[in-house]
Amino acid sequence: MSARNSRVTYGLLMVAAFLSVLGLLGCRASEADYPTKPVTMVVYVSPGGQLDLFGREAARQVEKMLKVPMPVENRAGGGGLTALSYIKSQPADGYNIAMATVSLLYAMAAPDSPVAVTDFDWIIRQNTEPFLLAVKGDGQFKTLEDLVRVAKANPGKVKMGGTGTGGIQDGIALRFSTLAGIQTTWVPFDSGKDASVATLGGHLDAFIATPSTPRPLLQDGSLRGLAITSEKRSEFMLNLPTFKEQGFDVVESQWRGVVVKKGTPANVEVKLHDSFKQLMDTPEWKEYNTKNWVSDYYLGTEALGKEAAKGVEDARTLLKQLGAIK
């Protein structure tokens, strides 16, 4: 190679290296400035569901801290897997985040799940509440014993519903039915709100949801709670007995938080975590939780990731025991 060609080649290499460094610095500067555009919050239930309302309230407050809009996008279906599949398909840059719940762990436990727990970084857990089994207020079921009696006399005829198929609510119904020695038919909906409306309309015999979902309808008597999945009675519903005290070892709780795609820059994840943690400490958020019968339940990124991974394995074990999956 001639001296002239060598100089040209060296010059081109230097330019390429310079441009590469500029690109890297630009990328790091962009990450440091995060966010510079709207951050979309994806919710896996239809509009009006409790998770949707929770997500919208969180977005309304957190966008003030991030100083960019945080629009909420509903992607219902697949027990939450539709929403998670969407997040997985997007760039790992923190501009698409999703509301996460323990229900997603059950959905990911299915053998045919298109996503895995390791596809995401679990940013923060914020609050929790138990589940309840509820029926129409003026219907035939006044107690859990009534429902069991009718179900035993009519195998498969009692229809129970909730959000999705193969999720935690379906798992609760299956576990209760197994322990009670009854056969029930599960009917999936896009949200707990949809299931409660179907129950009010007489199209569903009972549904499982978090208490915050049908709270106003429970308060005015339109719906009646038969049992709750907490270890002890809820401070918000002291008259509602637990499944456990009625002879059925069904104990579960629904936590809510935030996830992002695996590989999102660490400083972006820290910014998201700190913003949502700051939200938890505001009087406005605490008032929102109390009003909706939910409690703070904080867990940080690293610990939540480990708990989520264990939760998927626990859910898979339970669903296998109940015969829901092989």
Per-residue burial over 247-273, b = 16 or more CB atoms within 10 Å of its CB, e = otherwise? ebebbbbbbbbbbbbbebbeebbebbb
- Rounded to whole angstroms, how far apart are CA atoms 214 and 53? 12
Residue 9 lies in a domain: no
Shared domain check, 257 and 121: yes
Shared domain check, 304 and 227: no
Interval 25-45 mean pLDDT: 79
226 pLDDT higher than 50: yes
Shared domain check, 65 and 124: yes
Asked if residue 35 has a cis previous peptide bond (ω within 30° of 0), the answer is yes
At 72, which CATH number? 3.40.190.150
Q: What integer pLDDT is reported at residue 6 of this predicted model?
A: 52
Q: Compute the chain's Rg from CA coordinates.
A: 24
DSSP 216-238: HHHHTTSEEEEEE-SSS--TT-T
- Last residue of a domain, which of 246, 265, 284? 246
Shared domain check, 202 and 260: no
Q: What integer pLDDT is reported at residue 165 of this predicted model?
A: 82
Residues 314, 117 contacting (CB under 8 angstroms): no
Residue 135 lies in a domain: no
- Rounded to whole angstroms, how far apart are CA atoms 120 and 85? 11
Residue 160 lies in a domain: yes
15 pLDDT higher than 80: no
Shared domain check, 289 and 154: no
Shared domain check, 109 and 61: yes
Residue 287 lies in a domain: yes
Shared domain check, 123 and 57: yes
- Last residue of a domain, which of 217, 246, 275? 246
Residue 231 lies in a domain: yes
Residue 82 lies in a domain: yes
**Cβ within 8 Å of residue 94, ≥6 positions away:** 34, 35, 39, 260, 264, 265, 268, 269, 271, 272
Shared domain check, 225 and 158: yes
3 pLDDT higher than 80: no
Shared domain check, 242 and 151: yes
Shared domain check, 159 and 238: yes
Into how many domains does the chain fold? 2
Q: How far is CA 149 from the centre of its chain?
A: 33
pLDDT band at 180 (very low <50, low <70, confident <90, very high): very high
At 188, which CATH number? 3.40.190.10
Choose among 299, 285, 291, 281: nearest CA to 61.
Answer: 285
320 pLDDT higher than 70: yes
Higher pLDDT, residue 119 or 295? 119
148 pLDDT higher than 70: yes
Q: What integer pLDDT is reported at residue 31 of this predicted model?
A: 57
Q: For residue range 62-108, what is the model confidence (pLDDT) as tens digits?
A: 999 999 999 999 999 888 999 999 999 999 999 999 999 998 998 99
Interval 56-60 mean pLDDT: 96
Q: For residue range 96-130, what is the model confidence (pLDDT) as tens digits?
A: 999 999 989 989 998 999 999 999 999 999 999 99
Q: How far is CA 324 from the centre of its chain?
A: 21
214 pLDDT higher than 50: yes
Q: What integer pLDDT is reported at residue 123 of this predicted model?
A: 98
Q: What integer pLDDT is reported at residue 97 of this predicted model?
A: 98
The domain of 107 spans 36-130+253-321
19 pLDDT higher than 50: no
- Rounded to whole angstroms, how far apart are CA atoms 220 and 231? 25
What is the spatial order of strands in the sheet that 206-209 belongs to?
Answer: 185-189, 159-163, 206-209, 132-136, 223-228
Higher pLDDT, residue 228 or 164? 228
Q: What integer pLDDT is reported at residue 322 of this predicted model?
A: 74
Q: What integer pLDDT is reported at residue 164 of this predicted model?
A: 82
**What share of the chain in percent tops pLDDT 90?**
75
17 pLDDT higher than 50: no
- Last residue of a domain, which of 246, 269, 300? 246
Q: How far is CA 262 from the centre of its chain?
A: 17
Shared domain check, 240 and 151: yes
Interval 189-208 mean pLDDT: 94
Q: What integer pLDDT is reported at residue 30 of this predicted model?
A: 52
Residues 76, 44 contacting (CB under 8 angstroms): yes
Q: How far is CA 19 from the centre of its chain?
A: 42
Interval 20-29 mean pLDDT: 46
Q: What's the number of CA atoms in the CB half-sphere (13 Å) around residue 105?
A: 25
